[in-house]
Homo-oligomer: A and B are copies of this chain.
Amino acid sequence: MLRPLIALDWGTTRARAFLIAATGEVLERRVADRGIQSVAPGGYPAAFAELAGDFRAAAPDAVIVLAGMVGSRNGWVEARYVACPASAADIAAAAIEVELDAGTRATILPGLSCDDGAFDVMRGEETLIVGLGLTDGIVCLPGTHSKWAEIRQGRITRFASFMTGEVYGLLRNDSILARLAEAPSEADATEGAARGRAAADRPGGLLNAAFAARTEVLAGRMAGGAVGPYLSALLVGRELAGAEALFGLGTQVHLVADGVLAQSYGAGLAARGHAVRVVTPEQAFIAGIGRLASGLAA
């Protein structure tokens, strides 16, 4: 890459903007609550200027690449999903261009679709996966709707989504368990997580194990502070069991996460006997967007 890069990870609720030197070094970064749901039709050039206008002033020759929901039907312009299996070159080849202002173009990357029995889609995660530079491997991207992907011979062959983060929020905050849940002490967090991980393998399954949080607390056998950590570890454990059944997981899982998600998924994977390599979402995005931008230039 001989030119600098202005790269946006432009999602539904948030946008992350980066100014990246031709060397690959991140010179500037910014995050703003300017996801596509806050942008009116026709408002994208102005929103871009707000997010990264100063990056353009600093690097007028920069290549501009946008990833994520900005390329969805509800975004700037729809960049159609690329069907798996797909390589980085396939993704770059399906990118589309928009005019930012007279004479300046930006590239919008497409998402991926997968029809592996159930139909599934992703937008934005494909860039992070590409950033890992894998030839073969299994990638976990935890979140509200976690994604797991399989890479074989340099192509993303298939992937699957899990509603883990969203179901956690519903159970923790909106179910009958919410009344019993309290802010966890450090001991509650440790105990709740250990019990949740164990409960994930109980034969009754998630619907049975989730209810146990209630009865255990009412019986005085679990602290109210352990309810949240219990549910989190239970749900992560069920996701991991599902991913094992779908993908095998093999010797090592590439975990794209930081903070509490890196911790909880790391602990869950370790408890199930999987080696883990952790890459932060920013590292993966920067590497992925650089790789895809090179593909665009080629």
Contact = CB atoms under 8 A, between A and B. Distances in A.
Contacts of A182: none
B118 A246 contact: no
Nearest to A219: B119
Nearest to A165: B207
Copies of this subunit = 2
A216 interface: yes
Interface residues of A, number: 44
Interface in A135-167: 145, 160-164, 166-167
A212 B118 contact: yes
Interface in A53-93: none
29 contacts: A113-B219, A117-B202, A118-B216, A119-B212, A119-B215, A119-B216, A119-B219, A121-B219, A145-B211, A160-B204, A161-B211, A161-B215, A162-B207, A163-B207, A166-B175, A167-B167, A170-B171, A203-B242, A204-B245, A204-B246, A205-B206, A205-B238, A205-B241, A205-B245, A206-B206, A206-B207, A207-B235, A207-B238, A208-B239
Interface of A: 113, 117-121, 145, 160-164, 166-167, 170-171, 174-176, 199, 202-212, 215-216, 218-219, 221, 235, 238-239, 241-243, 245-246
